[in-house]
Amino acid sequence: MSPAKTTTVNTAHSVVEPSARSKRIAGTLVIVYALVTMLPLAWIFLTSIKSPPDSISYPPKILFTPSIEGYCNLFTTRTRQTPEYIASLPAPDGVCDAVTRQRNMVIAGPSNFLPRFTNSLIIAFGSTFLAVGLGTLAAYGFSRFKVPMADDLLFFILSTRMMPPIAVAIPIYLMYRQLGLSDTALGMMLLYTAVNVSLAVWLLKGFIDEIPREYEEAAMIDGYSRLQAFRKVVLPQATTGIAATAIFCLIFAWNEYAFASLLTSGSAQTAPPFIPTIIGEGGQDWPAVAAGTTIFLVPILVFTILLRKQLLRGITFGAVRK
Amino acid sequence: MADVTLKGITKSFGKGGAKRAVDGIDLAIADGEFVVLLGPTGAGKTTTLRLIAGLETPDAGTVSIGGRPMADLAPASRDVAFVFQQYSLYPHLTVYENLAFPLRSPARRMEAAAIDARVREVAKMVRIDHKLENRSTRLSGGEMQRVAIGRALVRRPSIYLMDEPLSSLDAKLRGELRLELKRIQKDLGATLLYVTHDQIEAMTMADRIGILAEGRLVQIGTPREIYADPANLHVAARLGQPHINLLPVGLLPDVPAPPGTTTIGARTEHIALAREEGGNARVDWIEHLGDQNHLHIKLGEQKLVTLADPDVAVSPGDRISLSLRNPLYFGQDGQRLV
Ligand SMILES: Nc1ncnc2c1ncn2[C@@H]1O[C@H](COP(=O)(O)OP(=O)(O)O)[C@@H](O)[C@H]1O
Ligand SMILES: [Mg+2]
């Protein structure tokens, strides 16, 4: 045995690894922040399962009997009837029917929520698809070719986002009326595409710049055309960036309120301007509004969860590898 | 396979062509020849290969492959294969898919069975057949370079262009792959233009070495010629371990230097040493490399380094006599004088 048995046990953590204490503090901060930001969402969800009287009681009720009335009211229109008439009806058909009758009302038909929600889906996903598609092509062009005045063009593209939407709302309103695009899904899709394309070009150019051009060059030497090389080599490597960009575009188009309330009123109206107008008897039907909002959150939630990995890398603009 | 000829190709970059990357290169590569262009970083090696592949357009000069002028021909139509210095594999594909990629190109339209046979054959050749289904990002550096070389070898192009394919590897692997590459090239009878900054790669693999400096092809010849018969100081300095010793003329009075000589170049084989009390030089220190020693010598104020067998019995501080046997002579402009 060697007398110098001084094996140094390396307990020091690495320099770049944060200490346990700072990790705990960071974790606590994140949780507190998450709770604060999630409180309104939780409140909306709770309101959606309250009965209308509970939803406006003061002080607000924390404990209450959950009710499905908000969701029933969201999807239906109802008319008031005399108790005698209701008593003469056959047994209620489904939960909503029963709940409605307790309020001395009967279901008259479906509400406009479903068509409005469908409009939102079509317009938001359609415009996201267009913006990301056009943005990818433009970003690739800016990234790989010598575009005359590329910097000026890129600045111009970005500058379209510098104005508040309200500043251009009136001209667009007039233009759309002339073109017959007011209150059409196509009009809204084009408008959101136009707004999002600038964001898409800028984000995607960053991602595509990071893909070494040697990959395409290798493909082109190996007998592929530029377009084929783009499809086989660039697109697969840009998926992260494309997914992240798509989420940003989708969130904008999904939540957009100002243009939607100005340019749509009937058949092309989207959910955001529709939801706050849900009126019950004697004022706003808060549980129904909350139910609409809750359902409105679901698509973004699903999309984000599906693409969360790409989103994380996308938000950090490629800084987090793997 | 085919012969490749470059005539006066020139390429500049930057505003108004401020930076000459390649400057009037003339080069004829014979069918089945292994030519290595040797030059330091920035010498224009990559640019030369890119000009041949058609990834860059020359400002002047012509490239022809198999006698056919290449001007205005797209890279896909030139029938060359390229191994890039970096980013050699598609990260989103497996090893198999990487190897099959060139064969699956629309220009080639090979049948799946033929592709499969070819991929497996080449995978064996570059000894990567046990990892065909691996993601290409899950390979070691040596394996990646094998696949990169394999991806060129699946095709039978007119010429293989290789841009420092081994430079990112450690010395041992580099040595192994060097041998393998040379063996494969011989077996295939392939025409190969290989660029590197590593003199050992150039010396061991090349049929002919071209010395590239600042975009110019300074000298071209067999490894022996380039080593023993350098055209100028620059070429002499590129080859040889340890580095050639450059002495001002007159330091050793009895050297028969031709008129006009300003510098004498002395490699190990030009230096004769003997231990001698009162000799003209002194051993400064000795670096032990194992099989050999580097002897650092002081001749007056001039330092020299030479190789010596480990059993040469000298130690630091010893006086020695130093004389030169047929060294290289260079004139004022750096050109060799004979
Ligand atoms: N696309 C380019 N734009 C501007 N300068 C370039 C470009 N490609 C190469 N160069 C310049 O040309 C010179 C030669 O480059 P290169 O051929 O890459 O050298 P090597 O491969 O021998 O290191 C360098 O000075 C380099 O900076
Ligand atoms: Mg290079």
Residue at B270: amino acid letter: H
Residues B18-71: tens digit of each pLDDT: 889 999 999 999 999 999 999 999 999 999 999 999 999 999 999 999 989 998
Q: Is A234's pLDDT higher than 50?
A: yes
Residues A304-319: tens digit of each pLDDT: 888 887 777 666 654 4
Residues B167-225: tens digit of each pLDDT: 888 888 888 889 989 998 999 899 999 999 999 999 999 999 999 999 999 999 999 99
Determine, for residues A222 and B87 on separate chains, whether the beta-carbon distance falls below 8 Å: no
Domain ranges of chain A: 52-111, 114-272+296-315
To the nearest whole number, what is the mean pLDDT of chain A? 87
**Residues above pLDDT 90, as percent of chain A:** 54
Residue B280 has φ and ψ, to the nearest 5°, of -85, -5
Query: Cα(A236)–Cα(A239) distance, rounded to whole angstroms?
Result: 6
Q: Is B14 an 8 Å CB contact of chain A? A: no
- Supply the CATH classification number for the domain A114-272+296-315: 1.10.3720.10
Cis (ω within 30 of 0) for the bond into A59?
Answer: yes
Q: A104 C-alpha vs ligand 1 centroid, how far in Å? A: 83
Q: Is A45 an 8 Å CB contact of chain B? A: no
Kindly state the tokens that stand for A250: 């989708």
Residue A237, min C-alpha distance to chain B (Å): 7
Q: Is the beta carbon of B51 within 6 A of some atom in ligand 1?
A: no
- What are the structural domains of chain B? 4-238 (3.40.50.300), 245-337 (2.40.50.140)
Neighbours of ion ligand 2 (CB under 5 A): B 46
List CB contacts of A225: < 8 A, sequence separation 6 or more: B76, B106
Angle at Cα A15 formed by Cα A14 and Cα A21, nearest 5°?
85
Residue B14, min C-alpha distance to chain A (Å): 13
B50: nearest CA partner in chain A: A217
Kindly state the tokens that stand for A73: 């009211």
Q: Is A228 an 8 Å CB contact of chain B? A: yes
Cis (ω within 30 of 0) for the bond into B242?
Answer: yes
Determine, for residues A219 and B55 on separate chains, whether the beta-carbon distance falls below 8 Å: no
pLDDT at A94: 85
Query: Cα(A220)–Cα(B68) distance, rounded to whole angstroms?
Result: 20
pLDDT at B10: 94
Does residue B132 contact residue B146 with C-beta atoms inside 8 Å?
no
Q: B51 C-alpha vs ligand 1 centroid, how far in Å? A: 12
Helices and strands: H and E segment counts in chain B: 8, 19
B91: nearest CA partner in chain A: A237
Residue A314 has φ and ψ, to the nearest 5°, of -65, -45
> How many CB atoms neighbour CB A74 within 10 A?
24
Residues A63-121: tens digit of each pLDDT: 889 999 999 999 999 888 888 888 888 888 888 888 888 888 888 889 999 999 999 99
Selecting from B88, B91, B102 the residue whose C-beta is nearest the C-beta of A222 gives B102
Residues A185-213: tens digit of each pLDDT: 999 999 999 999 999 999 999 999 999 99
Query: Cα(A66)–Cα(A69) distance, rounded to whole angstroms?
Result: 9
